[in-house]
Amino acid sequence: MTSYRIVGGKRLQGDISISGSKNAVLGILAAAMMLDGPCKIENVPDIVDVQAMLEICETIGAKITPCGEGTYEIDPTNINTYEATHPKVKNIRASYYLLGALLTRFRKATMYMPGGCNFGTRPIDLHLKGFRKMGAQGTRATDIRDGIIRIVAEELKGAHIFLDVVSVGATINLMLAATKANGTTVIENAAKEPHIVDVANFLNAMGADIKGAGTDTIRVRGVPVLPGGYTYSVIPDQIEAGTYMIASAVTRGDVTIHNLIPKHMEPLTVKMLEMGFNIEQGDDWIRVTIDDGVEPEPTNFKTRPYPGFPTDLQPQATVLLCQANGLSRMHENVWDNRFQYIPELQSMGASITVMERIALINGPVSFCGARVSALDLRAGAAMVLAGLAADGVTTITCANRIERGYEKIVEKLRAVGAEIDHIPDDEEHIVSDGDE
């Protein structure tokens, strides 16, 4: 385990370049396991969860060849098992995408139930219900024994599926299972996140026939073969970009974030403009500043599926609201328990009251450095932002959880003037593991 030590109070200035999207790559790597030929994937971020997924793909027989600079050659043609039961599978939730991929490859899939996480239950009932509609057996809760899912499908048939809840994971998993099914599958009430579009674009580049990704109705015409044979470049990470936009804001800095897609940032950009920040943008960059003497205005955020405000920026935006001049509200509408990091922020001086899914945030407060823990990936990112803004020194333990989703975060922040270092974790402050 590692910790970060931050000496706060420095205005960040300069340029940060965004890496490939974690949540797109995790789906794309699972999708690559279905191909009937090799492919190449570019702009893969060097982060813990992606390394874990690459290792998991190797445990089922895929040949993964790093080509350097975030490019990998993937050859799934020798995959020799439909069982994803290596212990590593439990390390990341996104391994559940292998259910759809292995079901497509073998008409069978066996794997551990994905772990929970520390911001509420993480069910997969919608994934299983969709597979059942497509003809799979073993998808009922009563079929799951010893925490292992065993799914079999004599034939995967196209189906008309309506998702009761907008779910990123179910949308991607069912898209994977539909890619080579017999007939056409329609997924209604589908999630529309940028990473879903990226997985669909990857699959279409490799021979699939998917229409409507990015809308709430996705139509997948099953094809007999997915030849692969192409190179695909992953989109920039929307959440990493938003985190650094907020880093510039909370330090009243002047940072330009490069290699992003401004359209994906709109749910955050509009709110930061509302708060009084200056946002300049070009084709692939955004610059965040605030005029001298201007205090950020309070406002209300509501997390929603895309194009709403992303839940994965909720902790980070809460830190920003702590600096607003008045009372703000953060409504968490996606996860049922994603405010567990608030006490860590309160130990740094935040004045926040949580009532179920709403956090009432009183500002402005000046954060003071403290010893806090990264309870999960995005809560950890929020602690970094508070540490950057704080007076004094902040130590963040379990910082390896932050490195699950942020490539070279220490180096990227140092390059814009942050005083941040890795230090060894001191054992007594390590809390239970937070999964994503």
216 vs 391 by CB, closer to ligand EPZ = 216
83 vs 237 by CB, closer to ligand EPZ = 237
Who contacts 72 (Cβ-Cβ below 8 Å, separation ≥6)? 40, 41, 44, 54, 64, 65, 66
Distance CA 419, CA 145 (A): 50
Name the DSSP letter for residue 21. -
Active-site residue, 117 included: yes
Cβ atoms 84, 109 nearer than 8 A: yes
Q: Which helix (H) or strand (E) holds 105?
A: helix 97-106
**What is the CB neighbour count within 10 angstroms for residue 395?**
20
Q: Shortest gap between Cβ of 236 and ligand EPZ (angstroms)?
A: 14
As a dihedral over the C-alpha atoms of residue 96, residue 99, residue 100, residue 102, rounded to 10 degrees, the angle is: 130
92 vs 372 by CB, closer to ligand EPZ = 92
Contacts to ligand EPZ by CB under 6 A? 22-23, 26, 93-94, 122-127, 165, 167-170, 191, 311-312, 334-335, 377-378, 405, 436
Q: Shortest gap between Cβ of 328 and ligand EPZ (angstroms)?
A: 21
Candidates 39, 117, 322, 398; catalytic one: 117
Distance CA 38, CA 159 (A): 28
Q: Shortest gap between Cβ of 142 and ligand EPZ (angstroms)?
A: 17
Distance CA 413, CA 251 (A): 12
Q: Shortest gap between Cβ of 280 and ligand EPZ (angstroms)?
A: 27
Q: Shortest gap between Cβ of 198 and ligand EPZ (angstroms)?
A: 11
Q: For the sheet containing 148-152, what is the strand order?
A: 83-84, 108-112, 148-152
70 vs 380 by CB, closer to ligand EPZ = 380
Pairing type for strands 184-188 and 160-162 reads parallel
Plot region of 89 (φ>0 → left; ψ -120 to 50 → alpha; else → beta): alpha
126 vs 342 by CB, closer to ligand EPZ = 126
Q: Give the residue nearest to ligand EPZ (CB).
A: 169
User: Among all residues, which ones are annotated catalytic?
Assistant: 117
